[in-house]
Structure 1
Amino acid sequence: MKKILTASALALLIAGCAAAPTIDSVSATAPLTLSVDGQPVLPKLRPFYSGELMYVPARALLEYYPVELKWDNAHKKLSLTTNSSRSVLSPGSSAMQVQYTQTDGGYKDKLEGPVLLKEGHVYVSAGTVDLLTGAVAKLAASGDTVSITSGDVSTSVRVPKDPLAVAAGSSGKVKLYAARKQGSTYKGFILEVNGRKHSYNWGSPRLVSYPPELHYADVDDDGKPEAIVILSLGTGTGISQEEVHVVKPEVWKELAVPTAEKAASAAVFSTISLDQKDVLLQLEVAGSSPSKYTFRLPDRAGDGGLDHFGTHAGIGAVTYYKVADGKLKAETNVSIGMGESMGTLMLDYKAGNGGMVLGTIRFEPHDTTEQYVEKEQ
């Protein structure tokens, strides 16, 4: 099923609903309350059951999902408009018409139950909430509250009750929250340290398997711990990218940190050449302990020559950050050709120039490529 995408947040009331015919198939149950991301909302608009279907007020969407709601009293229709589409709900109908705002395309979605009008307000089923925004509406274990939890393709305009990450060793005092979710992306974060909070406009994909990491350590050796946030930017075949943010919480200042790719590229020189049927990779790593490697790949020149392998090694297709032993560290790979990884560069950062800079760097061939090292210095 298609889901509505994000738009600018607009809080419009649904006006004039009382003139529309009311559907009287609502079952009598104990009054329910509504919560969104763990917070009570809309106390006067209570969820209810109609038959076996749970219904929630359409206005609940405004509590966590930036969308414009507009009631057309003449035609008895409710429109939900985003920057990418406009959906129309009609009380009594079990279908929703969706029209793209940027093109002439559109489609009709079947709903699990009819849209209802009750006491002048439009209500939609829990399944429709999921269809529209990816959020999940369900009865809480207490039996008296319907809880809406923002889904992985919905948007939240409120700070969730539960943090995305808690720093180990911080006694629960260093936390990271999503400030806002936009589709499958985190749009901003809130960092909490010792009860104080500050917002940052960092963005990253919402990857369930790769949640944000949070650390609390004195990585710049000034005697005060920093909050270190590591965000996954995406993974794929031969690719994995992360970014790191280092914050001094006493002043909420973010320290400049060169990416592992940039820092390593400034310290590594490489050339790729052909030696008859073989491919040679020469790698020089600068730093306090400089080193040189020459890889000979036998009988590989026929794989496409330098058009395939290039003239210099690539750095940074696979990058990871971590905090260990009180230091900010990174690992980034060295590759040739179409992502053929030869080994890993290990980086340690240190304080310098108003932020963090490269401290040490060393190279380790992979177990599978070590056999091609012709000479090592």
Structure 2
Amino acid sequence: MKKILTASALALLIAGCAAAPTIDSVSAAAPLTLSVDGQPVLPKLHPFHSGEILYVPARALLEYYPVELKWDNAHKKLILTTNSSRSVLSPGSSAMQVQYTQTDGDYEDKLEGPVLLKEGHVYVSAGAVDLLTGAVAKLAASGDTVSITSGDVSTSKRVLKEPLAAVSSGKVKLYAARKEGSTYKGFILEVNGKKHSFQWEAPRQVSYPPELYYADVDGDGKPEATVIFNLGTGTGMSLEEVHVVKPEAWQELAVPAAEKAAAAVVSSRITLDNGDVVVRLELAGAAPSKVTLRLPGRAGDGGLEHFGTQAGIGAVTHYKVVNGKLKAETNVSIGMGESMGTLMLDYKAGSGGMVPDTIRFEPHDTTEQYVKKE
């Protein structure tokens, strides 16, 4: 099933449910509490286990997700409505009826356990929460709290209380100051118990959380906090953004983007030679070098109209901190995004921030055979 997307959130009304199926058995353990994105919610509605299945109140969806919940008392059904779909949950049933507003017909989604009704409130399994919204609901290690992590499609503005990243035994932490839709708007950096806000923005991507490092990347004898955000990935592309902060004064150092820094010190030329495509790279920097790649028999693949006259730089860019050095990788491509290899950059301290130091070209395993030794 596709995830439910957007709609205005309304209050849940569940009433007059005497004739609806009710829960058969619930474990007698102490009541569980519920949290969403690290914050306690719905203190009067407790998650519970029924057999081996963990259940949470359906009303929890309203804490982080834009959906209208409406109880149909005549038919004893809970209707979930967004601007793109309508889903129906029936207490006692392990199936959910789904209809998308832009397509004809409807279909049925199987749930891991039946929808339950307890004290006038509808409960759904943790797996149904994931199925409906992409959120993850699970029992915390403490055993007394069910935690829902709302995922990257939520449009809640809930502030995360748990850090997105932490290093140095928890002495350095990164929090989201606010989230809006699929974007984090603002972050809080904590170093040794002190916090500071930054107006950075980054996509909320569960699969690609922010990276955090704490190392002396500018060589002044004091460690800096380095934050790396993934800005997006796709076919043939992946972009990241880096921020380096000196926590003593909460000063952010300027860091030229890898693709721009590389383009400033790398010149390229693509020519044709006896049916071959020849790619020449000249790399300036602290250790200048030249690289030539000869692609045999490729001139007939469209000539320079296809390959262009210069290589492209930067469709795929990654940053990392290794042994106290800020490093970056950004790719070199020709034609319609055909990647030849990677430019490896090292940064060093410079006037006003970090500047590129050394740069070298590293071919892929599949293109190494085309490198001509200079």
Q: Deviations over 1:18-63 (max 9, x none)?
A: 4663434432542521333565432322234556654322122233
Structure-1 residue corresponding to 2:243: 245
CA drift of 1:308 comes to 3.4
Correspondences of 1:1-377 after superposition (within 5 Å): 1-5=1-5, 10=9, 12-15=10-13, 17-18=15-16, 21-27=19-25, 29-30=27-28, 31-36=30-35, 40-49=40-49, 53-71=53-71, 76-91=76-91, 93-100=93-100, 106-137=106-137, 145=144, 147-150=146-149, 155=154, 158=158, 162-167=162-167, 170-177=168-175, 187-188=184-185, 190-195=188-193, 196=195, 198=197, 200-203=200-203, 205-207=205-207, 211-220=209-218, 224-233=222-231, 239-249=237-247, 252=250, 254-351=252-349, 354-364=352-362, 372-374=370-372, 376=374
Question: Could you say if the C-alpha distance between residues 182 and 112 of structure 1 is closer, same or farther in structure 2, counting changes exceeding 3 Å?
Answer: farther
Q: Counterpart amino acid of 1:124?
A: V
SS of the residue 1:262 aligns to: helix
CA drift of 1:136 comes to 4.5
State how far apart, in whole Å, the 2-side matches of 1:336 and 1:302 are.
Answer: 15
Say how many residue pairs are matched.
Answer: 368
C-alpha contact 1:270 1:312 (8 A) present in aligned 2: yes
State how far apart, in whole Å, the 2-side matches of 1:364 and 1:256 are.
Answer: 26
Question: Could you say if the C-alpha distance between residues 123 and 307 of structure 1 is closer, same or farther in structure 2, counting changes exceeding 3 Å?
Answer: same
- Could you list the runs of 5+ residues in structure 1 that have no partner in the other structure? none
C-alpha contact 1:26 1:51 (8 A) present in aligned 2: no
State how far apart, in whole Å, the 2-side matches of 1:290 and 1:141 are.
Answer: 53
State how far apart, in whole Å, the 1-side matches of 2:334 and 2:228 are.
Answer: 27
C-alpha contact 2:12 2:68 (8 A) present in aligned 1: no
306-315 or 236-245, which deviates more: 236-245
Q: Counterpart amino acid of 2:266?
A: V
State how far apart, in whole Å, the 2-side matches of 1:368 and 1:25 are.
Answer: 60
CA drift of 1:336 comes to 2.6
CA drift of 1:272 comes to 0.8
- Could you list the runs of 5+ residues in structure 2 that have no partner in the other structure? none
Q: Deviations over 1:127-148 (max 9, x none)?
A: 43232223444556776x4624
TM-score normalised by L of structure 1: 0.77
SS of the residue 1:205 aligns to: coil
C-alpha contact 1:79 1:88 (8 A) present in aligned 2: yes
248-257 or 259-268, which deviates more: 248-257
CA drift of 1:273 comes to 1.0
State how far apart, in whole Å, the 1-side matches of 2:104 and 2:174 are.
Answer: 41
C-alpha contact 1:186 1:206 (8 A) present in aligned 2: no
